[in-house]
Amino acid sequence: MKLVSAIIKPFKLDEVRDALTGVGVSGLTVSEVKGFGRQKGQTEIYRGAEYLVSFLPKVKVEIVVDDAQVERAIEAIQKAAHTGKIGDGKIFVTAVEQALRIRTGESGSNAL
């Protein structure tokens, strides 16, 4: 099993969700996050007080999938979240040791 974490532009969330369900992903977790990469920040001005806001709002999508599904899931996210402009985000993949469905006690791939 692998954990796929994708940091994407907030307005791309629905497209990413559709793309992932399209390749058979049956659940995901979304959080609103802030951060910066190459996009840096933006300037806000309030009555002359200028602030360089270095943390931009992003959405983090997390899914846990079978090893066999990982490549398709990554490809689906990359296609759906892509605009070609700076700030599209990143995808990280890490190994997952265990999974358990709380209601039934099923574990491993059966819990996904």
**Interaction between residue 105 and other proteins (CB under 8 A):** no
**38: DSSP letter:** T
From candidates 18, 32, 44, 75, binder to other proteins by CB under 8 A? 44
Contacts within 8 Å (CB) and 24+ apart, 101-104: none
CA-closest candidate to residue 94, choices 31, 1, 8: 1
> Of residues 81-100, which lie at the interface with other proteins (CB under 8 A)?
none
Q: Which is nearer to other proteins, 51 or 92 (CB)?
A: 51
* Half-sphere exposure in the Cβ direction for 55 (13 Å, CA): 5
Q: Which is nearer to other proteins, 48 or 84 (CB)?
A: 48
**What is the contact surface with other proteins in residues (CB under 8 A)?**
44-49, 51, 53
